[in-house]
Amino acid sequence: MPQVKKSESVPQVMEAIYQQIIALTDEFSKTYLNAEYGQLIRYATAALCRKRPSPLVKGKINTWACGITYAIGFVNFLFDRSQEPSLSAAELCGAFGVSNSPGAAKAKVVRETLKFSRLDPDWCLPSKLDSNPMAWMIMVNGLIVDARYVPREIQVLAYEKGLIPYVPDELPLDEE
């Protein structure tokens, strides 16, 4: 699965909406989450701004901020109390002043528009990539295997093709 290229660039016509949403999500991330969540939420917001037409042009800013945060939280098991950080869906929505139903509905639009699901390696927190099994599944000779347990040559090739985030037991190759 090719990796999504993440960027915070947005079309000029969407800049004001982008800034309004990330003002809310950055503050929320600072208060309840962490910098990793904040960055992924900014990337997702920018990706939604670049869609033609962007779904963000209709609806309330705080509802979209909630929905985007909810969607990224969904991928990373934010609602699982065994995770750190964790929040309930009601706590997340309440912090944005949104009821659960509209928050969940906007999250569904975000997930469908950006085509991601739970454990999606492209929207996984970097600190959780090591434990995300989907980040390591590749097909070798018609079989799906965990790239962490194949020979290094295959790992390097898989990394070069963008199929895995880095070669296991090493720093990411572009940081060496």
The pLDDT tens digits of the residues spanning 4-35 come to 568 899 999 999 999 999 999 999 999 999 99
CATH 1.10.472 positions along the chain are 12-118
- What angle in degrees, to the nearest 10, is found between the helix axes of 100-114 and 61-75? 70
- CATH code for the domain defined by 12-118: 1.10.472
Contact criterion met (CB below 8 Å) for 57 and 10: no
Instruction: Give the global pTM.
Output: 0.85
Per-residue pLDDT at 4 = 59
How would residue 118 be classed by pLDDT, with cut points 50, 70 and 90? confident
Most confidently modeled range among 131-140, 150-159, 162-171: 150-159
* Secondary structure of residue 135 in the 3-state scheme: helix
